[in-house]
């Protein structure tokens, strides 16, 4: 039985089912019971924050172009969802979908979606680096969060990055926002550790949890909280629960909620 329910965080939305970072993926995740939404954020050439993981659009929009060199209006003309199910047009029995759910998603629209949902929804926002705009990404993000009243204490937002420098920027501009230091490997974690504060959350990848549980255990013993990505199987959930990891970032929020509910019973 699970004594304390870990937070289920939808990685780029319900990205196993729907095209990542689209409004459709996030709405699906919320309807499936996700506690929080994870997203990556980049800055367009005209200063808009958009939810896109890769620096270029080859994988998700079939365009050999770079996000940071495009304006928002140009991105809005592209299809960000058909790559997930390229044969959908040939399926006569497929349900009709709203094209707006498959377009580029702005950070503002995602924040609005979370704010309007009829229960508390938290957001885990990763700023992507390196980027040509460097610290402007964090500055724009804090400005936008401040518009929503979400740049202070108890805001339903935390900011994540593989760059401790980026997180330091957030700490200077909005000292009450929670920060997550991401690390894919044990080496990355130990390199970053001297530069991070004691209240920063550790964000190891699932591979690190699987292969170096002793490191995770020591992080937890030091009093630091831990959030893990990407947790997609029941075995991985079990491993995270055993180590006291408090947030599970997953491509399959419905499966995670179902499994945790079974354990809770």
- Active site residue ranges: 11, 53
End-to-end distance of the chain based on CA atoms, in angstroms?
A: 7
Residues 55 and 67: beta-carbon distance below 8 Å: yes
Distance CA 75, CA 97 (A): 20
Task: Kindly list the distances between the CA atom of residue 23 and the CA atoms of 37, 84, 107, in Å, as whole numbers in the listed order.
Answer: 11, 14, 11
Under 8 Å CB-to-CB from 211, ≥6 apart: which residues? none
- With contact defined as beta carbons under 8 Å apart, do 43 and 137 qualify? yes
If one counts every other C-beta atom within 10 angstroms of the C-beta of residue 72, the result is 15
């Amino acid at each position: 039985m699970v004594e304390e329910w870990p937070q289920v965080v939808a990685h780029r939305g319900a990205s196993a089912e729907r095209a990542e970072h689209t409004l459709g993926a996030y709405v699906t995740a919320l309807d499936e019971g996700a506690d929080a939404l994870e997203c990556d954020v980049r800055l367009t050439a005209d200063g808009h924050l958009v939810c896109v993981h890769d620096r270029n659009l080859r994988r998700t929009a079939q365009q050999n172009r770079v996000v940071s060199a495009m304006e928002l209006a140009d991105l809005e003309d592209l299809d960000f969802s058909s790559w997930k199910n390229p044969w959908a047009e040939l399926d006569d029995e497929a349900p009709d979908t709203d094209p707006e759910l498959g377009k580029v998603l702005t950070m503002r629209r995602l924040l609005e979606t979370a704010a309007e949902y009829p229960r508390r929804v938290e957001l885990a926002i990763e700023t992507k680096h390196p980027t040509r705009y460097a610290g402007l990404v964090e500055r724009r993000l804090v400005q936008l969060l401040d518009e929503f009243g979400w740049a202070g204490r108890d805001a339903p937002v935390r900011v994540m990055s593989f760059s401790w420098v980026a997180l330091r920027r957030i700490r200077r501009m909005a000292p009450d926002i929670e920060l997550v230091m991401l690390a894919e490997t044990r080496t990355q974690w130990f390199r970053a550790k001297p530069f991070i504060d004691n209240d920063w959350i550790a964000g190891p990848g699932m591979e690190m949890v699987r292969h170096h549980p002793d490191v995770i255990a020591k992080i937890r013993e030091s009093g630091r909280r831990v959030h893990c990505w990407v947790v997609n199987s029941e075995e991985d959930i079990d491993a995270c629960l055993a180590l006291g990891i408090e947030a599970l970032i997953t491509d399959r929020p419905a499966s995670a909620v179902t499994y945790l509910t079974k354990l809770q019973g």
